[in-house]
Amino acid sequence: MADALKIGVAGLGTVGASLVRILQERHEMLATTCGRPIELIAVAARDRTKDRGVDLSKAVWFEDAVALASEAEIDVFVELMGGAGDPAYSSVKAALERGIHVVTANKALLAKHGIELAGIAEEQGALLNYEAAVAGGIPVIKALRESLTGNTVSRVYGIMNGTCNYILTKMEKEGLTFKACLEEAQRLGYAEADPTFDIEGNDTAHKLSILTSLAFGTAIAADDIYLEGITNISIEDIQAAADLGYRIKLLGVAQRTDSGIEQRVHPTMVPHDSVIAQVDGVTNAVAVESDILGELLMVGPGAGGNATASAVLGDIADIAKSRPGAQHVPAFGRPTTALMPYKRARMQSHEGGYFIRLKVVDRTGVFANIAGHMAENDISLESIMQHSKHYADPAEPKTIILVTHATHEASVRKAIVSIKSEGYLVGEPQVIRIERPKDW
């Protein structure tokens, strides 16, 4: 059996503690599978006195992750601290500069510094593995980086934030408001005390930016993503979607178009009988459409200490199974020098179907006027209907729901501006894009 693989772990939160426990409990099984033992020889965390339920007596303790990465006699540096800044950034960089392999679950770090770090890894012949950074336990990085080699990807999309999917699922199944479902998610630990980063779509955007680079061979452009969160989604939207045969999901979508790459995160209506529509609760799902393989969909746990630790462990095992300096696996699928610049497709030129919900005062001719504005903008309608209650008070505003055939974002925005100028609208119009998964 080959020499032990010596690892150092920085960050002993939920994921770090899970990982350490698994490495200890399954020491022998891992040695058999990997052909060599995996030894935890160093850890870094702030509070040395905290009981993490794992035995750390054999590991050298560093208060400073950068010191661990710079000094410890390790083969792999495992970064589980999180955050785009320090100590995550400096410690990962320090490890790679020494030619030490890095495994990280840190999406924010990669979204911001991924290409720079990948470049250092290549120069030093080190691996930079980050399966856990996107969609937790779902092996989507491996699929894009390894399985799909040779394919040209046309679209990658998915449900990548468990908090949002939990809230949307609960709103639909129990008819509760966004606020009530968010509070329940917070109670269950599925949402942070400050949930902004999740519910506004930033977390999904970070993950999407990494997938985009892998899928299209471009530099990461995490700040160049069209972003809409789910705070604006009402029960009325969810019910109207259901009536029309759709469900609402927060999707991250990256798509190759004639004018560049579209990266967008927004609430999306997907057909009710599509596979991805059935993905409920905190579960994640990622789909990749490519020209040789066709469409691949992967569904699994997107977060949680164990699922994330499992992905980290898979990355460590890949290194254990390879031999030092033995592999050519560029972090983003191709050498950083061969990555193409990211060219953003403007959101205005996005093509797709739209769901539009309008509240209007009950006045003769409104229906025809709305239809007219759509026609003026060359928007072809799949349906237009008035949602009426059993007893309709003429003084109450009426709800009109439109579903368009594929059209341009610019046309929809123009039509909405025209409709707004007519003066019969009550409140803001709701616009939700429709995404059609490939037919299975």
Binding site for L-homoserine, by residue number, is 192
Applying CB under 8 A, which of residues 119, 201, 252, 333 lies at the interface with its own copies? 333
Nearest-angstrom CA–CA distance, 316 and 34? 10
Reference 75, options 345, 317, 402; nearest CA is: 317
Nearest-angstrom CA–CA distance, 430 and 240? 12
Nearest-angstrom CA–CA distance, 394 and 392? 6
Applying CB under 8 A, which of residues 298, 381, 384, 410 lies at the interface with its own copies? 298
- The verdict on 26 binding its own copies (CB under 8 A) reads yes
Residue ranges of the binding site for NADP(+): 10-17
Closer to its own copies at the Cβ: 142 or 408? 142
Reference 376, options 420, 412, 333, 422; nearest CA is: 412
Applying CB under 8 A, which of residues 20, 22, 80, 233 lies at the interface with its own copies? 22
Interacting residues of 423 by C-beta distance below 8 A, sequence separation 6+ = none
Q: Which of 93, 112, 170, 207 is catalytic?
A: 207
Closer to its own copies at the Cβ: 87 or 119? 119
Site string for its own copies, 101-140 (x = CB under 8 A): ------------------------------x-----xxx-
207 tagged catalytic: yes
Is the Cα dihedral 185, 250, 243, 375 positive or negative?
Answer: positive
Q: Which SS3 state, helix, strand or coil, does residue 147 take?
A: helix
Q: Which SS3 state, helix, strand or coil, does residue 373 take?
A: helix
- The verdict on 13 binding its own copies (CB under 8 A) reads no
Nearest-angstrom CA–CA distance, 77 and 129? 10
Q: How many residues of this chain interact with its own copies, rule: CB under 8 A?
A: 67
Interface residues for its own copies in 211-240 (CB under 8 A)?
A: none
Which residues pair with residue 354 across a beta bridge? 433
| Catalytic positions, written as ranges | 207
Residues engaged in binding its own copies (CB under 8 A): 2, 18, 22, 26, 29-30, 32-36, 131, 137-139, 142-143, 146-151, 273-275, 277-281, 283, 290, 292-301, 304, 306-307, 309-311, 313-314, 317-318, 320-323, 326-330, 333-335, 338, 440
